[in-house]
Amino acid sequence: MIFGRRLPAVAFDVALAGLVALVSVAGGPVQPGGWWSSSIGVAMALALLFRRVRPVTVTVVVAALAFAQVALGWAPMLYDVAVLIALYGVVKYAERLRDGAIAGVVAVLGAVFAAVRDPLPAAWYYAAVYYTLLTGAVWLVALNVRTRRQYVLSLEERAATLEREREAEARAAVAEERTRIARELHDVVAHSMAVMIVQADGARYMIDQNPDTSRDALKIVADTGRQGLEDMRRLVGVLREANPPEPVPTPAVRPVPDPAGPDHRRPSVAELPALLDRFREAGLRVRYTVTGRSVPLPPALELTVHRLAQEALTNVLKHAGVGASVELTLAHTADGVALAVVDDGRGHGPLTPTPPGGHGLVGMRERVSVYDGTLTAGARLAGGWQVRAWLPLPSSPGSEVLAA
């Protein structure tokens, strides 16, 4: 960039002005007016350097110099091509087309004036018609280029506007999903607190009569408190992250709502078979496999697994369609749980195309990120789609307390 202009444009304008100046100087010894005439051509060439940034001013300067040339009785020179270049520039680059129209009228009048003042013996009207046609052709070419240029600029502005709207929609979807996750984690923490209160009250009443029962109750209180503390930290982490990474809009859909609503019960891994039955009734052929030694998961983690499976199956039903085969695998390991939802993409697609711009995968990534897990989603070479999530188990309760 040079003076706010791109280098190719500057180089082209310099070459164009240099060519006009060269023609002016080359004809100095033989053309009418001699070097004085050449000085007018050089002044026109210098003015052309600014034809993109000051098109109206350049046109006025070049027109005044051309008028002075004709008024002095000098015949049109080769360097008078600068008049046509300035006319082209004002039509193409001026903010208002009115300026280009005025310049066209002035150029036509100047062409007639130059034909009348031409010292050659030929009839002046022949020269006037020739100059007018040449000026009109240049003006129409410039108008066509201006129209195409404005059309391209409008397309670029529209694309930029759509991109901004898409980014704003994606940010709103992330904020909405974070709010929902925070609300669900809040319910989990509230449930843990309720359990702690009940067990603590029971231990207080039974501490004298049955110490063993009281010890068990206090252990439950401690374990539940540690888990509640960890869930609370995750909740605060969700609420504190004010600037999440920019999401990439993906064609997904919102989760299938629970019939009882989120305020009546909290989904868990144990309810996955019932969830799969609902999708089977909707037309999917779902196969459910559990591998590894199943261990009790924290309530918030169970909720996340359930929501991930729900969202992935909803996307299969929406995009692959009724009749698609789905393999849902839940793998338990010593340090985490893995969820895989793989479909063959061979269902009867929806009657109407799925509208793009959903944020289902964005919500899934947000849920997985709460547990520092990983999520991969994409098309399969054999056809269909796959979603794979890895959720590490929370650290041991003792380490959580020490970290506090």
Q: Concatenate the DSSP letters of all residues of 42-96 into one string.
A: HHHHHHHTTTTTSHHHHHHHHHHHHHHHHHTTPPP-GGGHHHHHHHHHHHHH-SS
Question: What distance in Å separates the CA atoms of residue 181 and residue 363, rounded to the nearest whole number?
Answer: 9
Please choose, from the candidates 236, 233, 231, 228, the residue with its C-alpha nearest in 3D space to the C-alpha of residue 193.
228
Q: Residue 3: its pLDDT value, please? A: 53
The Cα 51–Cα 58 span in angstroms is: 6
Q: What is the distance between the terminal CA atoms of the chain, rounded to a whole angstrom?
A: 55
What is the total residue count of the chain?
404
Q: What would the two tokens of residue 91 be?
A: 């039509």
Give the C-alpha separation, 178 to 168, whole Å: 15
Nearest-CA neighbor of 237 among 181, 306, 311? 181
Helix (H, G, I), strand (E, B) or coil at 271: helix
Task: Say if residues 265 and 258 touch (Cβ distance below 8 Å).
Answer: yes
According to CATH, the topology of domain 170-403 is Heat Shock Protein 90 (3.30.565)
Alpha carbon distances (Å) from 149 to 104, 153, 221, 324: 19, 6, 72, 48
pLDDT, position 186: 64
Each residue's pLDDT expressed in tens, for the chain with a length of 404 residues: 555 567 777 888 888 888 888 888 887 776 776 778 788 888 888 988 888 888 889 889 988 888 888 778 777 778 888 888 988 888 888 888 888 889 888 888 888 877 777 655 556 677 778 888 888 898 899 899 988 988 888 888 888 888 888 887 777 777 776 777 666 666 666 656 766 676 677 777 777 777 777 777 777 777 767 766 666 666 666 565 544 444 433 333 333 334 334 444 567 788 889 889 888 887 889 999 999 887 788 888 888 898 899 888 888 888 888 888 999 999 999 889 999 999 998 877 654 445 444 556 777 888 888 888 999 998 888 888 999 999 998 764 433 332 33
Q: Which residues make Cβ contacts (< 8 Å) with residue 167, sequence separation at least 6?
A: 246
Separation of alpha carbons 308 and 367, rounded Å: 8
Dihedral angle sign, alpha carbons of residues 343, 344, 350, 352: positive
The domain segmentation of the chain, as residue ranges, is 7-121, 170-403
Amino acid at position 120, single letter: L
**Are 23 and 41 contacting, i.e. CB atoms less than 8 angstroms apart?**
yes
Query: Is 239 buried (19+), middle (13-18) or exposed (0-12) by CB count in 10 A?
Result: middle
